[in-house]
Amino acid sequence: MKVLKVYLEESPLRNFNYIIYSEVNKNAIFVDPLDIDITMPIVKKLGLNPKYLINTHYHADHKHHNQKLLDEYSVTEILFKDLEVFELSSSEKLQALYTPGHLDPHFIFKLIQDDKAFGVITGDVLFNCGIGNARQGDVNVLFETIDKVIMKLEDDLIVYPAHDYLVTNLKFAQTIEEKNEIRDNLLKEKLAIDDKVTHHEVDHTIKDEKEINPFLRLEKYQDIFPGLSKKEIFINIRRQRDNW
């Protein structure tokens, strides 16, 4: 199984679009298709079959080209329940995990090759060094999703987020946790090339995110937020990020 990560230069929301495809049968899954005018030529050039459509959730910037895919390419839309598995081939599978809070429903998708998960499509729940907002969801539910689902993902999964907010998130993280060498080095590295690129990509694992992402480091923040529970710290940081 391969994952194509396509940054949509025209999107003001800094979206990535993902194509997941089988190396066995060349069938391709469009994930949250915002702009198939960009991704379809890539799929065609690689000789893949545009076959399936999945969505993490149904915000406009994630479902924008759903109908176009269904009408013009007769793709099959796959709808998931929590923990449901879809077989792209006998050795290549996706497993959906129900992750509401940013919006309900919302799913993330574990990518499984030969019975071992190697990555996770995280939609608008988990970004690099940040998480999605809860403006149209519920921050209490989002906390449960992060605490009970995201924190329990295998450490070596590669994170495939739906947006590039890396530099902004790294800068915000500095306002919460003053010193963090890994984070500060990453920001320095990214700022050094900032004026030459439109976006940033990192192949972070869940473990990498736990080193820098404030929303995955709540247990370490007892000194910063004395007397607050993990959930109260989470809500506090989410509110600060909303107003930052």
> Which of 30-38, 119-127, 169-177, 212-220 is the region at the interface with Fe ion (rule: CB under 5 A)?
119-127
Cβ proximity of 17 and 35 under 8 Å: yes
Q: Residue with structure tokens 């050795």?
A: 91
- In terms of CB distance, is 21 or 127 closer to Fe ion? 127
The yes or no reply on residue 51 touching Fe ion (CB under 5 A) is no
The yes or no reply on residue 200 touching Fe ion (CB under 5 A) is no
> Which of 59-67, 187-195, 214-222, 232-240 is the region at the interface with Fe ion (rule: CB under 5 A)?
59-67
Question: What is the CB neighbour count within 10 angstroms for residue 45?
Answer: 8
- In terms of CB distance, is 51 or 59 closer to Fe ion? 59
Shortest distance in whole angstroms from residue 76 CB to Fe ion = 23
- HSE-CB for 145 with a 13 A CA cutoff: 29
Shortest distance in whole angstroms from residue 185 CB to Fe ion = 30
- In terms of CB distance, is 99 or 205 closer to Fe ion? 99
Alpha-helix runs per DSSP H in the chain? 36-45, 60-63, 66-73, 139-148, 166-176, 181-192, 206-212, 230-242
The yes or no reply on residue 124 touching Fe ion (CB under 5 A) is yes
- In terms of CB distance, is 92 or 164 closer to Fe ion? 164
Pull the structure tokens for residue 72.
């013009």
Question: What is the CB neighbour count within 10 angstroms for residue 167?
Answer: 17
> Which of 53-61, 63-71, 77-85, 206-214 is the region at the interface with Fe ion (rule: CB under 5 A)?
53-61
d(CA 49, CA 89): 14
Helix (H) or strand (E) holding 3: strand 2-7
Cβ proximity of 144 and 238 under 8 Å: no
Q: Pattern of binders to Fe ion over 67-106, x per CB under 5 A?
A: ----------------------------------------
- In terms of CB distance, is 59 or 217 closer to Fe ion? 59
Shortest distance in whole angstroms from residue 54 CB to Fe ion = 15
The yes or no reply on residue 59 touching Fe ion (CB under 5 A) is yes
Q: Helix 181-192 to helix 166-176 angle, to the nearest 10 degrees?
A: 140
Give residues in contact with Fe ion (CB under 5 A): 59, 124
